[in-house]
Structure 1
Amino acid sequence: MREVVIASAVRTAIGGFGGALSTVPADELGGIVIKEVLARAQIRPEKVDEVIMGNVLQAGLGKNSAGQAAVRAGISQYSPSFTVSKVCGAGMKAVIMAAQTIKSGDADIIVAGGMENMSATTFFLPQTAEQPEKGSEEAIETMIQDGLWCSFGDTEAGTAPDSVGERFGISREEQDTYAARSHQKAEAATTSGRFKDEIVPVEVAQTAGDPNICATDENPRFGATAETLAKLEPAFAKAGTITAGNSSGVADGAAALLLMSAEKAFKMGIKPMAKFIGYDYHWCEPELMGYGPIYAVRSALHKVWAKLDKEIDLVELNETFAAQTILSLRELNLDPEIVNVNGGAIALGHPMGSSGARILTTLLYEMQKRDSNVGLAAGMGIACIVEREWYY
């Protein structure tokens, strides 16, 4: 099997719900990062064999939002493209599928990533037998129905972390302490410009005057402490521990990575950011959603014979909820000092289709800054391992 490398990676800033990116459709955000990821590797659009993009909330965007994003980036409409929906793991699944395709020899250059605008999701009126021409009088929000509602348990997704916290003895205080640290790390990274290299600024047209430039993540709660977060009310169950402060916020954003065969990169004189060396995914019971990444990480590490405490230098976990992330830290025996070193989704936000690609992008840039060798990115029930090894 051929080796796969990541030639470049980029993301937008993460816009808050109703924030700076709220008027920019998901496919437009996707087009911006696809265009930029090609420019950073100096690859012409016609050289791209395929585009694969995660996008969870597709209703109303038109068919194949990945194809629309590709065309916006200057890639021919005749180039293959497809859209992936794997909820929080969509962006990372797109990257894995790109790696699999290149490994098999079916392609040399693929752009993969994810995009989401959770601020601009649509509402729909279900058709009823009584009113087939009108539909139901009760509008349903697609962000809830298609993104934040568990189809299996028929309940809000946030109720599962509440049960995880109770089942595994993860207290509200522990969750707030972890979340406060995430916000504090994100604040430090933002104010110091730590994310600047990985972000492509987005021009957002205004109704009057010059466009607004969005180049900074909007969600971190500056000045957050465990004490201030402790004042927030539970978001789901009245006696629950999940709040708006210790869970990730809905958000808007996009991320893209350029994957190539190592042979092709060498021939084109491209020095990759990293080699893609392993991955896996795993599903679990909805009420145990926190265990998905644990299973996936263990399996991915087993595949590459890595030992977590000795060979992994840096880790990015998708912080959907503090309870779920704390459980991963415990069960995987992770050193907190190498996990989400610049804060995670609790602080930055969680644009679902983009997040898997976003954490991988953030991981790659931080590995460069620290001269790290092996990195792990994981979330939901999916994990990837990359290595910065210049082997040619």
Structure 2
Amino acid sequence: MERLNQLLGQLSASKADAIRQKNPDDVVIVGAYRTAIGKARKGSFKETGSDYLLSQLFKELLKKTGVDASLIEDVTVGNVLNPAAGATEHRAASLASGIPDTAAFVAINRQCSSGLMAIGDIANKIKCGEIDCGLAAGVESMSTNWVAGPLGKLSPALEKDEEAKKCLIPMGITSENVAQKYQISRAECDAFSAKSYAKAAEAVASGKFKDEILPIEVSITETKGGPSKRVVVDTDEGPRKGVTAESLGKLKPSFRADGITHAGNASQVSDGAAAVLLMRRSLAESKGYPIQGKFVLCSSVGVPPEIMGVGPAYAIPRVLQKCGITIDDVAVFEVNEAFATQCIYSQKQCNIPDAKLNPNGGAIAL
């Protein structure tokens, strides 16, 4: 058994080494930047549409990387709240940023992972030889596009279907379902969330996000009916110092009177955008562009709609298995904190050490 473990360890090491190898056809990242994250409806981006956020981010990214915009062959933008996933206004944002009309455009909506799926879309197009360079992004303006109810409707026939109608369950209720099904307590959720706030506050204070945030200038009206002014936004507005499990314990449940999910242990409503410029390694090297990282693989899984947030618990093992590596080979796991319940379950299910999980805080704090 000891010898078998040694051999398995060597196999894992060889797979990890293979991932680190450099090949001309690798998909590489030559720029990965974002705006600061603003607080929806009361933050610095409260009057700024997603199209403007995106156009300014694209402009600043091209300026920062020095990449010739004419090299971009396709743009994929993930979005949930805009009508038609923002296909019209985000194509307009692409053009306004200086990306030529020869670059194709596609809008993509895969709920919380829309931005990630945009990256996967561009990366896979490079892998299969369809393009050599593409831009992937995700953007939301929850200030200007907030929808309280379901984003779609079911026909009467589907409303009677037991499986189909689960797709209309509010996300907050799915969080309560996860807590009940997997026996996750309110105390666990509040302690987890307090850690997220502490990590994010420390990351902001120590400047850990400075290199990834591109400042964006916007107009804002401070008082109703008052004059607007131009401000430069370069700092996340969500993180707060001094949040403790005890202070979170005083908040009332948001979705069920006897529930455990509330405003302090769920993700915030926010405005912001992020973008990743991907390129074939041979092209990046021939142009002399700095390479920040290498795209290896992505994996998507389906889970029951009534516990929709547990996707990472099953997508992570699948992508590790496909890459031939283990949890031990990965230094950092960034797992969506849509709700503390689902992130706690995902961490437990995958056996992710605390030190490796969201080291700079997650969506609860950001």
TM-score between both structures, scaled by the size of structure 1: 0.80
1:188-337 aligned at under 5 Å gives the runs 188-207=202-221, 208=227, 210-308=229-327, 310-337=328-355
Q: 1:62 to 1:284 in 2, by over 3 A?
A: closer
CA distance in 2, matches of 1:256, 1:192: 23
**2:61 partner letter:** V
- The match for 1:8 is 31
Match of 2:40 among 8, 17, 21: 17
Indicate the residue corresponding to 2:109 in structure 1. Answer: 85
SS at match of 2:348: helix
The aligned runs of 1:358-369 (5 Å cut-off) are: none
- 1:60, distance to aligned residue in structure 2 (A): 8.8
Q: Which of 163, 168, 173 is matched with 1:154 structurally?
A: 168
**8 Å CA contact 1:317, 1:339 repeated in 2:** yes
- CA deviation profile, 1:260-287 (whole Å, cap 9, x unmatched): 0011111111231111011100011012
Q: Distance in 2 between matches of 1:4 and 1:294?
A: 26
Distance 1:151 1:70, change over 3 A: farther
SS at match of 2:319: helix
Change (3 A) 1:143 1:93: farther
- The 2-side partners of 1:300 and 1:99 are apart by 15
Amino acid of the structure 1 residue aligned with 2:140: E
Change (3 A) 1:203 1:60: farther
Q: CA deviation at 1:219?
A: 1.3
- What is the match of residue 119 of structure 1? 143
Q: Could you tell me the percent identity over the aligned residues?
A: 37
* Contact kept in structure 2, 1:10 and 1:36, CA below 8 Å: no
Whether contact under 8 Å (2:61, 2:214) holds in the other structure is no
Query: What per-residue deviation string (whole Å, max 9, x for no partner) do you get for residues 209-236 of structure 1?
Result: 6412211111123210000000000010
Q: Deviations over 1:176-226 (max 9, x none)?
A: 000001011111111222111111112111453641221111112321000
Shift in Å at residue 79 of structure 1? 2.1
Q: Offset of 1:144 from its aligned partner?
A: 3.2
**Kindly tell me: are residues 209 and 24 of structure 1, through their superposed partners in 2, closer, same or farther at Cα, counting changes over 3 Å?**
closer
Structure 2 stretches lacking a partner, 5+ long? 1-23, 155-163, 222-226
Distance 1:334 1:87, change over 3 A: same
Deviations 1:157-184 (A, max 9, x none): 1101111111111100000000001011
Aligned position for 1:185: 199
Amino acid aligned to 2:287: M
**Which of these residues, 60, 65, 87, is aligned with residue 36 of structure 1?**
60
Task: Please report how far the alpha carbon of residue 142 of structure 1 lies from its aligned counterpart in structure 2 after TM superposition.
Answer: 3.3
Distance in 2, Cα, partners of 1:73 & 1:323: 39
Unpaired runs of at least 5, structure 1:
122-140, 349-392
After the TM superposition, which of the residue ranges 230-239 and 203-212 deviates more from structure 2? Answer: 203-212
Offset, 1:237: 0.7
Q: Which of 70, 74, 84 matches 1:50?
A: 74
Paired letter, 2:126: I
d(CA) in 2 for partners of 1:167 and 1:265?
Answer: 48
| Bigger radius of gyration | 2
Distance 1:326 1:22 in 2: 31
1:120 aligned counterpart, secondary structure:
helix
Q: Distance in 1 between matches of 2:352 and 2:292?
A: 24
Aligned match of 2:19: none
Report the AA paired with residue 88 of structure 1: C
Q: Quick check: 5-14 or 36-45, which moved more?
A: 36-45
- Name 2:14's counterpart in structure 1: none
1:294 and 1:60 mapped to 2: Cα distance? 29
User: Is the 1:53–1:115 contact (alpha carbons within 8 Å) kept by the matching residues of 2?
Assistant: yes
Tell me the amino acid that sits aligned with residue 317 of structure 1.
V
Residues 108-156 of structure 1: per-residue CA shift (max 9 Å, x gap): 11010111101101xxxxxxxxxxxxxxxxxxx6353329x99634231
Partner of 1:124: none
The TM-score normalised by the length of structure 2 is: 0.85
Alignment of 1:96 with 2:120, yes or no, is: yes
After TM superposition, the runs of 4+ consecutive aligned structure 1 residues lying more than 4 A away are 60-63
What secondary structure does 1:346 align onto?
coil
Shift of 1:22: 1.4
Alignment length (residue pairs): 327
Residues 240, 344 of structure 1: alpha-carbon distance in 2 compared, 3 angstrom cutoff = same
Q: Distance in 1 between matches of 2:296 and 2:102?
A: 30
Which structure has more helix as a fraction of its residues?
2
